[in-house]
Amino acid sequence: MIRRTQIKKVLCVAEKNDAAKGIAQIMSNGNMRRREGHSRFNKIYEYEYHLFGQNVTVSMTSVSGHLLALEFKAPFQKWHSCNPVMLFDAEVEKYCPDTFVDIKRTLEREVRQCQALVIWTDCDREGENIGFEVIDVCKAVKPNVQVFRAHFSEITPNSIRRACETLTEPNLNISDAVDVRQELDLRIGASFTRFQTLRLQKIFPTVLADQLISYGSCQFPTLGFVVERFKAIQAFIPETFYKITVTHQTDEEEVDFSWKRHRLFNHTACLVLYQICMEVWTILLFQDPLATVTEVSTKPKSKWRPLPLDTVELEKLASRKLKINAKETMKIAEKLYTQGLISYPRTETNIFPKDLNLTSLVEQQTQDVHWGPFAQGILERGGPTPRNGKKSDQAHPPIHPTKYTSSLQGNEQRLYEFIVRHFLACCSQDAQGQETTVDIDIAQEKFSAHGLMIIARNYLDVYPYDRWSAKVIPVYERGAQFQPTAIEMVDGETSPPQLLTEADLISLMEKHGIGTDATHADHIETIKSRMYVGLTADQRFLPGELGMGLVEGYDSMGYEMSKPNLRAELEADLKLVSEGRKDKFTVLRYHVEKYKQVFIEAVREAKKLDEALSTYLGQALEFTPQDEMALELPLPVRKCPQCSRDMVLKKKKDGRGMYLSCVGYPSCKAALWFPDSVLEVSRDESICPTCRPNPVHKLKFKFKRGSLPPMMPLELVGCIGGCDETLREILDLKYLRGGRAGAQPASNPPSGSYLRDSQSQNQPRVQPPPRPRPESRKPVASVTSSPWASHPPAVGGSDVTVCNCGQEAIILTVRKEGPNQGRQFYKCNTGSCNFFLWVDQPEERGVGNRNATSWTPQPPRPSVGLGSGDGAATLCKCNEPAVTRTVMKDGPNKGRTFHTCPKPREQQCSFFQWADENMPPGTVCFLFKLWKM
């Protein structure tokens, strides 16, 4: 609801300064005051206007296209900052580029004095998104400002006044579609561009050393169309065909009759028919063949006037008829629009709305010396009667002139004249003619000839871009006979398709849903500027060697990335988002994940790209193992317990050792640092059946000699999700500390308690004195048993050590003689769990976070009999006595006994142990503790 009494001053923002000036001139009737803003390119126009039912002061200013840009956050902006695959999950942010900061300052200053904001940006997707950028900037300094949207298709008095009277709310759905497209284009383009540029520059250093090898989900299918046509021409095999022609020369004209069979590809068959035509008269009547007229028909023939002009047709016709490329065409059209000479040039509509006054538009053009008489003729014949198409975007009318001018020059004048002549032509009448068809028979072979007489040129008089020529033939009567001047059998060859013109390419992009009418020209310009394609002398597209190699390389991987399917699906989803029929975030997640999988497969198959390009660029250099490892994609091990993104294995900065990190760094600092005793660690394909959320992949470890007890193997596979007791002890996995903002993780963090905030790793290790047992602490209500869970909150705001049961732990002292005699440790108060923690281990007691609870959650471990006799029970992971079974299957282990879980198969834990091995479950961990002590 508009609070009209509270609105005294209104800020209006247009998309460009020219538009702001034109709108202000109309609204103020030329009585506006101009003053400077912070940006010297974007002026401020002030005037009084009757709006919201009252007189208000209006400040009209502008932006210069998009005010904000989308970029990765700082840690991901440099090309070598991360593996390109991480860009699919990296955090992005909108920011104001330096070149537009002055515009932003102007908006912030002006809106503080206003009670309402009216968006006058272009009424399309991009314009709506720019409008919301303006809204975000303004609301950041004045949250309570009222926001309205003006809808208009041309900068004319009627259109602007109508927009003022019908202000609405901005459409967030349309803006969301642009947000999705921008983020996807950034993620997809940056990841593929970095990958192929860094790789190919190393493999082909002499050719591509300094070249940016960009990728875009629109530009690549556009390149694919050019390559596909070129390869079709290369693969084309011409075929020889044969046909019979008949010519009749009279005193007035020479008439060519075409064969009804058209052509034959068999020489013998055609020769036989030709000889029949020639010999039947010679044998029977000893004279040359005669042709008999079997039919003479006459019917009206029309050449249709053009449809109203939409953006795609404007680009195609300007390219074909005026030889102005699509990029230049749209640039000129935008300028003509902001000058108020034509309607909005970005439209999908080819139907004139019923409320558009076409008569007044035609009247404006009667003063021109070239097409003025034709415009006058339209009015005299009853007014404009346009031929309408079938498309409407429900936003803008077809492109048409809105004001007459004779002061333009160069391509601006040529394009304006074309738009005017096209408008007058479609408001006129079809060209009318009379077509005559003559059919003849020679030895039962049928031939025909056509003649055309133009009765009324109509639209052709004002539209020189179309041709329709008359063709005169003599008068023939049915049943008459004549002697042909010549009967010949001629041959020819089929010809390949031609290379694509720009108009052809735009047609294919529109047909397959690649880009929009507003972006076709940009995508074409991109593949030209990247040298993926070139132009022949007659302005047809020819793929370059780099373009050919890229398309062939990616297509050989099986994804056909040069085909339009992937992008066309995205464009369809963006349309649904703009209509409010699909959720922005759902579409974004789906397409990010889809392109991420394509990227991962493309990197795995990268050698196919090298091979394809080596055909055109010469011998490819071999990648060193170090280079391959640098580009190798880290596969996810598990989901991060803090932010649910993937966690992957990474090398430490100094190259020695590995750690498990969340791909959401730096916003998420969750990391699992492996001690120096771990020489190698890699992801195993096996998945832990216990840990959640699935899948949690097991890891394959290789340890230093001497770092494990003598009876333990140096290579083992285990789960770091918390269920593997052996790894918990070896790696000292205790708990996960929350992710706070901090510096990049150190290259060699201290060992022990590795899954924690990276900042705390760099703090000095403090050895606090033993603490007395607290007497008045309340237990924590609930504790998560997973070693990946975040800390429970501290009770009472002080340090409390809590056992696995969620109870306050007690402090005991080692009495037994040995290196730990007198050392204090925490233990479960009730004995219900096997919680254990040394008091003097600061990294296990929350150093760097004094409000965090020192907490060592571990699932209950199975009891293991370690008596002196052989009767000790073997327990499975469920803490149940294991059963002994015998291998019955043929093989090396047939007859061998083993221990396993006693439960039914579908309920069994993963416990397994050969009966003839000395170490029952839990012994490893027990011996490892003894060995460390």
Residues marked active site are found at: 344
Q: How far apart are CA 106 and CA 756, in angstroms?
A: 45
State how far the Cα of 136 lies from the Cα of 139, in Å rounded to an integer. Answer: 5
3-state secondary structure 266-281: CHHHHHHHHHHHHHHH
Q: Which two tokens stand for residue 452?
A: 């055309």
Q: Counting Cβ atoms within 10 Å, is residue 318 exposed (0-12), middle (13-18) or buried (19+)?
A: buried
Q: What is the DSSP letter of 322?
A: I
Q: Which tokens go with 537?
A: 């002398």
Q: What is the end-to-end Cα distance of the chain in Å, rounded? A: 75
Helix ranges (H only) for 513-639 are 520-529, 545-556, 565-578, 584-604, 606-617, 625-631
**Per-position DSSP letters for 605-617, written without gaps between them:** THHHHHHHHHHHH
Residues 6+ apart with CB under 8 A from 884: 897, 898, 899, 915
Question: Which element (helix H / strand E) includes 715?
Answer: strand 715-718
Mark out the alpha helices in 204-266 (DSSP H runs): 205-208, 219-235
User: What is the total residue count of the chain?
Assistant: 933
SS3 254: strand
Q: In what order do the strands lie in the sheet with 291-303?
A: 481-482, 291-303, 431-442, 445-456, 254-259, 240-249, 486-493
Whether the Cβ atoms of residue 289 and residue 277 lie closer than 8 Å to each other:
yes
Distance set, CA 420 to CA 282, 312, 320, 404 (Å): 62, 17, 17, 9
Q: Provide Rg for the chain, Cα atoms.
A: 40
The kind and range of the H/E element at 338 are helix 326-338
Where are the strands (E) in 775-817, listed by range?
A: 801-802, 810-813
> Which single residue is written with the structure tokens 């233990």?
827
Task: Give burial (CB, 10 Å; 0-12/13-18/19+) of 743.
Answer: exposed
Write the DSSP string, 66-125.
Answer: -S-EEEE-GGGTSTTSS-GGGGGTS-EEEE--GGGHHHHHHHHHHHTT-SEEEEES-SSH
CA distance 338 to 127: 14
Largest CA distance in the chain: 136
